[in-house]
A = this chain, B = another copy of it.
């Protein structure tokens, strides 16, 4: 049962890590996640680590790798549910989780991802109705 489900909510993928991650599970998760990002055109990935009592350098590297691969595929990664003790240990170990954003809970992560969504309407330019063409006499050059 070493499979980590990837749940889709809107254009966000949600992964809750609860099992002990070994090499194979981590690789399988990366593969599944990468496929799902492409398949669903996901905009963001939320990884919940509430169940993890320990985040060692292996898990830390896995999270960084997932974040890097996702970024290449135009999806942002947010890690949520980090326990205070885990945060302290990470700092003490000097693990900085490069490229990984964090949020307190899933809702905050969704807000973060919502804010980072490119505004689709911003590229639409409003064309004037032509009546005021001669009112604007500012020189171009």
Residues of A within 8 A of B (CB): 1, 3-5, 7-10, 14, 16, 18-20, 48, 50-53, 81, 105-107, 110
Inter-chain pairs besides A5-B81, A7-B16, 10 sampled, C-beta below 8 Å: A1-B53, A3-B18, A3-B50, A5-B50, A5-B51, A7-B105, A7-B106, A8-B105, A8-B106, A8-B107
The DSSP consensus for interface residues of chain A is loop
B residues within 8 A CB of A52? 1
Tell me how many chains of this kind the complex includes.
2
**Complex CA distance for A106 and B13, rounded to whole angstroms:** 11
Does the CB pair B9–A5 fall under 8 Å?
no
B residues within 8 A CB of A1? 18-20, 51-53
B residues within 8 A CB of A48? 5, 7
Does the CB pair A106–B9 fall under 8 Å?
yes
Does the CB pair B16–A16 fall under 8 Å?
yes
B residues within 8 A CB of A8? 105-107
* A–B pairs, 6, beta carbons within 8 Å: A1-B52, A3-B18, A4-B18, A5-B51, A5-B81, A7-B105
**Across the two chains, which residue of chain B brings its CB closest to A110?**
B9
**Complex CA distance for A9 and B80, rounded to whole angstroms:** 13
Does the CB pair B9–A51 fall under 8 Å?
no
B residues within 8 A CB of A51? 1, 3-5
